[in-house]
Structure formats: structure tokens, C-alpha cells
Amino acid sequence: MTTRPVQYDFTGKVVVITGGSRGLGHAMALGFAAAGATLAIASRKLDSCEATVKELRALGADGSAHAAHVGKWADCNRLADEVYARWGRADVLINNAGLSPLAPSSLETSEDLFDKIIAVNLKGPFRLSALFGSRMVAGGGGAIINISSASAIRPDPETAPYAAAKAGLNILTVASAKEFGPKVRVNCIMCGPFHTDISKGWSRTEEFARRAKRSFPLRRAGEPEEVVGAALYFASPAASFTTGAVLTIDGGASNPIVLTRRE
């Protein structure tokens, strides 16, 4: 048996990405498009999805735009129906849409905000995994990738509901892998700090840079394109014996080291 370099080819495959018009989702969309995939881009803002599809077509790929609030059961149902009506299949689902607002304290977290955070980060991926996973099982199989957060294992008080939802998503990954296997593999990417339009208010600050240099082995936040390789791997035959896995991509922050050398 010989070992050959992995080359990702998603020609003829349909990849569904929630929150695919910005941040990590946008980077993954471009990455899968470069590998030949057809993309179904979903987010709450249809115009943003359409703009991303236009980018994909400029790269020679094809795609479709879908307005969907994943925190709403009916929108999840409609998204699945739209994708199968448009493309007749879905080979990869990436549950990427997320919501992580800050709250001054647990006491000051409103019921509406708590419910909204849980709905987008946990309820939506649960429902979409059920809808797409069951259809993949009935068809030719597929892969589901959940995008979690290192907050799931390193929670902060101001984002406690978000951290709890992402911890639930890690658990959901394992449960879904058991339910939809062996035809569907379900894995999770647990992301640390990344530079995106959502995080730019803190990830580009001098305070964060100082903390990263002191406690992160790679001493910085990630760039969105640095998550793409993991997504391509999990979605591809290269990961044929990988399911129920949670891969941490956080610059080593999960196992911080304190640097004693002065910068």
C-alpha cells in the first residue's frame, strides 16, 4: 500500500454552509469552491448570500443563496427543502452560523437573549443535522461538520449561554455520529480566536495581542482561511475513518504555556 498526497476534489458535490456569507463560513465557501464544489450559502440576509454566490461564480463554481434564520425550526425545514429542490442532493452540511453577544452578568441576561443564543448555536444545528443527515442516510451518504468554539471548554461569565450551547454542540456531534453512521460522518471543529468581522472589536486590540504573545504558543489569533483545511479534510474521503471527533484549532490556547522570555 502506498501513501499519496491528499488532493481534495469536490466536483459534483453540494456543500451547504450556514453563516456562509461572512467570516469563517465565507472562507470555507471559497475553499470548497476552489476544490470544485457547488455551494448552498445560507444566512439571515439574502443579499449577503447572493453577493457570496456571485464571488463563487467568478471563481468558476456554482451556488445558490438562501435566506434562513437557523434558530427557527420552520426556516431549517425550508432550507433543506430549498437545497434539495435546487440541487437534488446535499453531500456536506456545515453548521457554522453562530451568535455570541456579551452580557454584563448572568442576572442581567434576558430570557429572550438566552433563548436566541441557544436557538442559533444549538437548536439550529440539531434540526439541520436531523433534516440533512436523515436524507444523506437515505441517499448516498455524506458528512456533517459542526463549528464549535473553545469557549465550550474555557467559558467566560459574559458568554456563559454561548459557551453552554457550544458545549452542547460538541456533545451533539458525538450523538449524531452514532445516529447517522456509518453512511454519514459527523465531526466538529472547535475554534479559538479568529480575526473576522465579528471579532475585530477585540481580536485586533493591543490588549489581545499582548495576551496572545504571553499565553498562546502561536502568539496570535487565526485568519479565517486557516480553518479551511480542517473542513476540507473532514468532508473528504481522507477522513473516511473519522467521525464523532472534535478538532481544536486555536493556536494552542487550549494548552497555554507562559512564556518567560521578554518580547
pLDDT band (50, 70, 90) for residue 259 = very low
Report d(CA 185, CA 70) in Å as an integer.
Answer: 21
Q: Taking residues 3-10, what's their average pLDDT?
A: 74
Q: Give residue 101's pLDDT.
A: 87
Q: Give residue 258's pLDDT.
A: 40
SS3 state at 199: coil
pLDDT beyond 80 at 7: no
Topology annotation, domain 14-247: Rossmann fold (3.40.50)
Residues involved in catalysis? 162
What is the C-alpha end-to-end distance of the chain, expressed in Å?
Answer: 48
SS3 state at 137: helix
Among 6-10, 19-23, 60-64, 217-221, the minimum mean pLDDT is found in 217-221
Q: Residue 141 is which amino acid?
A: G
Report d(CA 72, CA 28) in Å as an integer.
Answer: 24
CB 156 within 8 A of CB 113: no
pLDDT beyond 80 at 217: no
Report d(CA 154, CA 163) in Å as an integer.
Answer: 8
pLDDT beyond 70 at 233: yes
pLDDT beyond 70 at 207: no
Domain boundaries, the chain: 14-247
The string of pLDDT tens digits covering residues 148-201 is 998 899 998 989 999 999 999 999 999 999 999 999 999 999 988 777 666 565
Average of per-residue pLDDT values in the chain: 89
- Selected residue with higher pLDDT from 141 and 211: 141
Q: Give residue 6's pLDDT.
A: 60
| Type and span of the H or E element at 185 | strand 184-191
pLDDT band (50, 70, 90) for residue 4 = low
Report d(CA 129, CA 110) in Å as an integer.
Answer: 28
